[in-house]
């Protein structure tokens, strides 16, 4: 059984160590397995697992894998209320096309109080991401034993040693990264072979897509994430934690 043992030790450190050990064992077991195998192991043997998806440029790959394994997989989609209209339309279309039956749309509860005029992103992008993404996701993940991400080693230096399984720092949750070892051409090949729909903004020069105010087009030769928070020392929203804190990893230098 791969099910997490919630009764291993009574202290938080003992529980965290148990999850770390489980991640090590899973990585050893699935070292030479496919992304689909890793996804299936997470969804069928690691407890209650959610797939967190932005329905962005490459999201359809994991969504398709999940649909093949279990169309009732909980899919958490964070609507920051600042997304491109194209993303919202794409989310609805992909959900229907893949037959996903458990897509949960997550929104922040306190936007009206903390950002009544919708200008927080102009003053403090970190605070805006915390308000509209990090806190709503943290609330939504309560009750789950882990979650699936689309992170890949090639995306930034901070992800260069990413494994399939890891403990989410500061929590007892397992993070599962089925595409950790994929290259950009693997993503494109999977989409082509399965005839999956592309996000419409990709063809318009947006290879990485976030909120509309903080995403710009990328020129030929630029890093695919260059259009995210352009001209700021930031290229992560903070959803992925480091050392248990919501710090901005992978910041541009």
Query: Taking 90 as the threshold, does the pLDDT of residue 251 lie above it?
Result: no
Quote the pLDDT of residue 244.
39
According to the model, what pLDDT value does residue 221 have? 85
pLDDT digits (tens, 9 = 90+) for 180-197: 899 989 999 999 999 999
- pLDDT at position 45 is 86
Q: Give pLDDT, residue 229.
A: 80
Residue-wise pLDDT for 6-49, tens only, equals 554 457 788 888 888 988 999 899 988 999 999 999 999 889 99
Which has more confidence, 231 or 148?
Answer: 148
Domain boundaries of the chain, sorted by first residue:
12-203
Is the pLDDT assigned to residue 161 strictly greater than 60? yes
Return d(Cα 195, Cα 12) in angstroms, integer: 45
- The rounded percent of the chain whose pLDDT value lies above 70 is 84
Cβ-contact 74, 146 below 8 angstroms: no
The question of whether 129 is a catalytic residue gets the answer no
pTM for this predicted structure: 0.84
The CATH homologous superfamily to which domain 12-203 belongs is HUPs (3.40.50.620)
pLDDT tens digit sequence for 164-177: 999 988 888 999 99
Out of 128, 129, 211, 237, pick the active-site residue: 237
Tell me what the mean pLDDT of segment 132-161 comes to: 83
Q: Across residues 101-121, what is the average pLDDT?
A: 95
């Amino acid at each position: 059984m791969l099910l997490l043992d919630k009764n291993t030790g009574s202290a938080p450190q003992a529980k965290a160590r148990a999850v770390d050990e489980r991640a090590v064992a899973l990585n050893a077991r699935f070292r030479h397995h496919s992304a689909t195998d890793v996804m299936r192991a997470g969804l069928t043997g690691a407890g209650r697992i959610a797939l967190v998806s932005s329905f962005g440029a490459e999201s359809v790959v994991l969504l398709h894998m999940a649909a093949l394994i279990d169309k009732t997989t909980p899919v958490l989609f964070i609507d920051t209320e600042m997304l491109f209209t194209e993303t919202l339309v794409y989310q609805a279309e992909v959900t229907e096309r893949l037959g996903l039956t458990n897509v949960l749309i997550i929104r922040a509860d306190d936007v009206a109080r903390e950002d009544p005029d919708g200008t927080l992103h102009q003053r403090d992008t970190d605070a805006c991401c915390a308000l509209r993404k990090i806190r709503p996701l943290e609330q939504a993940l309560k009750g789950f034993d882990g979650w699936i991400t689309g992170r890949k080693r090639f995306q930034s230096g901070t992800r260069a040693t990413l494994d399939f399984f890891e403990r989410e720092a500061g929590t007892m949750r397992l993070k599962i990264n089925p595409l950790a070892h994929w290259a950009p051409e693997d993503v494109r090949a999977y989409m082509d072979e399965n005839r999956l729909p592309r996000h419409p903004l990709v063809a318009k020069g947006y290879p990485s897509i976030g909120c509309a105010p903080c995403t710009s087009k990328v020129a030929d030769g630029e890093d695919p994430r260059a259009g995210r928070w352009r001209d700021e020392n930031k290229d992560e929203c903070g959803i992925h934690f480091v050392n248990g804190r919501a710090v901005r990893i992978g910041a541009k230098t």
